[in-house]
A and B are shown apart, each in its own frame.
Chain A
Amino acid sequence: MPELEQRPKVTVEDLLRLKRAERPAPEFWGNFEREMRQKQLTALLEKRPWWQEIPQFIARRAYLPVGATAILAFTLVSVKYYAPAQLAQVENPPAGSPVTVDHEVTAPVAPVSSPLVNRTESVASVAEDTVVASTAPVSSTASTDVVELMPLLVAPRAEETPSARLLAANLTRLEQSDADFGHNVLNARLSAPAREQIAAPAAEELASVPTNSTRRNRLLAQYGGRQLNPEPAPPAVVRERLARRLGDTDTSDRSNRLARGIDTFSTPMPQIVALRF
């Protein structure tokens, strides 16, 4: 026992250090070098399959301008999603230029939302059957806001559905009566005989309206009297301003009447317009 206690300590590390002494003989390395040379030459001559070249190719090309690729992709996506709106804006004419607008087109999107329109018609079919505005011959000095909206507005073909036919007929009636009325009003403002000619039937119509309100009668009488009073011809500047105001009023009223006329097809539009004036 004392001998065992005197013997030095042996650990796992010491045993593992013995493994370093397990080395091959020098002749082993001669054989190793010969085999190694053969394998190296084989590896040099051997053509690697193409799929093993893919990772290297990708790694080499990874330094390509990734930013440029991202910008290109972003540009493509932007063009894809925003191109229709931009093109629509490009198609719009300049604000100050005269615009030719097809009057069929001025029946805007309302047909789809109108209660008189057959709701079973799908929006897709309406969109398919529509034509883009700005093709027709009637010239108009509409305001800029209205003009900008025109190319985007679409109208259904009148001959396709009963509701569309009804809408087209009403619009035609409205345009005809509206044009005559505007022309007459303009003439009435400028010349006294014409005013009298127009005011006479209007006064008759007003007189024929039954009412119990004396105040209303008084106002109507004042209105009629003022219209019938002869006035001196206005100067040219006033006449021009008046004509412009009438033109603006005519445009805005026309759009209002169109919207109201679409909602109430059976209403006799010319009479309403006459009463309002």
Chain B
Amino acid sequence: MNLSKVFTKAIISSPERQQEADADFAVVKQVQTGDVAAFDKLILKYRERVFGVVYNLTANREDASDLTQDAFIKAFQSINRFQGHCSFFTWLYRIAVNTTLSHLRKNRLRSFFSLEKLHEDGTNAEVLEQLTDKKGADRDTYLQELKEKLNEALQKLSIPHRTVITLFEIDGLSHSEIAEVMGCSEGTVRSRLHYAKQFLQGELGKYLRS
């Protein structure tokens, strides 16, 4: 077992993540040997997750679409440099986050919302029930207002704090994975996460019940 495998296993704690990383690395090896079509598997597998991260960071669906494509193109161009020191998923996330942060810094003053429709399925129906007892049009108006207030509050956060809370609460990454994606320590991640939650509680107090 080479050193990169050991290092990767130390980073990826859960066995499911490890299996996923091994499968991804096999596909990456195919791409590196010249099988360009194998990269489509990786695009199909990760496009929604990458899009979700970029969308939650930008709050703009068009920008998120372009930035997601750019992230995949960059990953494709740099695929020969990937040597398996971390999982492909983490590596791809890092590319996407860095691309998005660069875009946000360039267009700091130009920000407007272009939000996706809120899909009501089984996972969030319970939360929606808890949030409102309204019915019909009133309920839709209330949810639209809640969505905009939530995005506004997120956009008021600084870019690092927004990134941390997006990756942790929305995408479900662990502290260590976020630290690796962002290139900082786990303590920094925890600190930013705590601050971001406090800020959001202050901004969204109207919609919270304790």
Which A residues lie at the B interface, using CB under 8 A? 4, 7-25, 28-29, 32-33, 35-36, 39-40, 43-44, 48, 56, 59
Chain A binding surface, main DSSP class: helix
Q: Is B51 a contact of A24 with CB atoms below 8 Å?
A: yes
CB distance from B73 to the nearest CB of A (A): 5
Q: Is A32 a contact of B208 with CB atoms below 8 Å?
A: no
Q: Is A10 a contact of B69 with CB atoms below 8 Å?
A: no
Q: Is A19 a contact of B207 with CB atoms below 8 Å?
A: no
**Per-residue A-contact encoding for B76-104, CB less than 8 Å = 1, 0 else:** 11001100000000000000000000000
Q: Is A43 a contact of B127 with CB atoms below 8 Å?
A: no
Sorted from nearest, which 6 A-B pairs have the closest CB atoms?
Answer: A16-B169, A22-B116, A21-B124, A10-B209, A8-B130, A12-B200
Q: Is A21 a contact of B120 with CB atoms below 8 Å?
A: yes
CB closest chain-A residue, reference B150 = A15
Q: Which of B39, B116, B123, B207 contacts A15 (CB 8 A)?
A: B207
Q: What's the Cα separation between A169 and B130 when bound, in Å? A: 119
CB closest chain-A residue, reference B124 = A21
Q: What's the Cα separation between A18 and B144 when bound, in Å? A: 12
Q: Which of A20, A25, A28 contacts B170 (CB 8 A)?
A: A20
Q: Is B147 a contact of A12 with CB atoms below 8 Å?
A: no
- Which chain B residues border A17 with CB–CB below 8 Å? 123-124, 127, 169-170
- Which chain A residues border B39 with CB–CB below 8 Å? 40
B26 contacts A by Cβ under 8 Å: no
Q: Is B116 a contact of A18 with CB atoms below 8 Å?
A: no
- Which chain A residues border B55 with CB–CB below 8 Å? 22
Q: Which of B36, B115, B208 contacts A44 (CB 8 A)?
A: B36
Given A22-B55, A32-B47, A39-B73, A12 and B208 contact (CB-CB distance below 8 Å): yes
Q: Is B165 a contact of A16 with CB atoms below 8 Å?
A: yes
B48 contacts A by Cβ under 8 Å: yes
- Which chain A residues border B165 with CB–CB below 8 Å? 16
- Which chain A residues border B121 with CB–CB below 8 Å? 21
Q: Is B69 a contact of A15 with CB atoms below 8 Å?
A: no
- Which chain A residues border B117 with CB–CB below 8 Å? 22-23, 25
**Per-residue A-contact encoding for B146-186, CB less than 8 Å = 1, 0 else:** 11001000000000000001000110000000000000000
B131 contacts A by Cβ under 8 Å: yes
Q: Which of A7, A13, A20, A43 contacts B209 (CB 8 A)?
A: A7
Q: What's the Cα separation between A26 and B207 when bound, in Å? A: 30
CB distance from B192 to the nearest CB of A (A): 14
CB distance from B38 to the nearest CB of A (A): 13
- Which chain A residues border B118 with CB–CB below 8 Å? 18, 21-22
- Which chain B residues border A8 with CB–CB below 8 Å? 130, 209
- Which chain A residues border B27 with CB–CB below 8 Å? none
Q: Is B170 a contact of A19 with CB atoms below 8 Å?
A: yes
CB distance from A51 to the nearest CB of B (A): 15
Q: What's the Cα separation between A21 and B36 when bound, in Å? A: 33
CB distance from B171 to the nearest CB of A (A): 8
CB closest chain-B residue, reference A42 = B73
Q: Which of A10, A19, A44 contacts B150 (CB 8 A)?
A: A19
B11 contacts A by Cβ under 8 Å: no
Q: Is A40 a contact of B76 with CB atoms below 8 Å?
A: yes
CB distance from A108 to the nearest CB of B (A): 64
- Which chain B residues border A25 with CB–CB below 8 Å? 117
